[in-house]
C-alpha cells in the first residue's frame, strides 16, 4: 500500500482494516474501492455503520428510519444515565422496563429514541422518569433527517 501516511500504522492494523472493508463489500478483490465503498465514503459514519445504513435503505424507508435512530443513538454519549449503586440499578430497571427489548441493546435504543420522540409535552420529564440522558437524546434528535422530524 503506497498511501502517504504521516505515521504508518502497524502492518497488522492495516491488514485488519482492509479485511473489514473487504468483508463489508467496500473493497473489490483487487483492492480497489467498490461502488458500495464509494457510497460509504460519502457518509459521515464509520465504514461498518455506513454499510448498515446502505443495507437498511435497500429494505425500505421504515427500516432505514429505524436504523437512523439506532445509529444516531450510537453516535452520542450514552443515552442511559449511569447507575452505580444497587438501589439506583433497581430504580433504573423499573424506569426502563417498557423500553427494554429482549432482542438486544440496539432495539432497546430504538425503543428509547422512539419513546422520547413520541413525547409531545415534556421530553425532559420523560427522560428523567426513564433515567435517560436528556442532553444525549437532544443530540440524537438533532441527527434526525428533517423529513423524519416532520413526520413525528
Domains of the chain: 11-59 (1.20.120.1080), 60-152 (no CATH)
Which cell numbers in the block locate residue 48?
461498518
Which residues, other chains included, contact 22 with Cβ-Cβ below 8 Å and sequence gap of 6+?
A: 29
Summarised one tens digit per residue, pLDDT across range 71-128 is 999 999 899 988 777 777 777 788 888 899 989 999 999 999 999 999 989 999 999 9
pTM of the model: 0.80
Single out the residue of 31, 32, 35, 65 nearest to residue 51, CA to CA: 35
Amino acid at each position: 500500500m503506497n498511501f502517504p501516511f504521516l505515521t504508518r500504522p502497524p502492518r497488522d492494523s492495516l491488514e485488519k482494516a482492509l479485511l473489514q472493508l473487504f468483508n463489508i463489500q467496500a473493497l473489490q478483490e483487487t483492492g480497489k474501492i467498490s461502488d458500495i465503498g464509494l457510497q460509504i465514503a460519502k457518509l459521515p459514519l464509520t465504514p461498518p455503520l455506513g454499510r448498515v445504513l446502505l443495507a437498511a435503505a435497500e429494505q425500505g424507508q421504515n427500516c432505514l428510519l429505524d436504523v437512523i435512530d439506532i445509529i444516531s443513538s450510537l453516535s452520542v454519549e450514552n443515552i442511559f444515565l449511569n447507575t452505580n449503586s444497587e438501589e439506583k440499578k433497581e430504580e433504573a430497571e423499573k424506569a426502563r422496563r417498557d423500553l427494554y427489548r429482549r432482542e438486544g441493546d440496539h432495539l432497546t435504543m430504538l425503543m428509547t429514541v422512539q419513546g422520547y420522540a413520541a413525547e409531545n409535552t415534556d421530553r425532559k420529564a420523560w427522560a428523567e422518569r426513564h433515567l435517560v440522558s436528556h442532553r444525549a437524546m437532544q443530540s440524537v434528535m438533532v441527527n434526525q433527517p428533517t423529513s423524519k422530524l416532520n413526520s413525528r
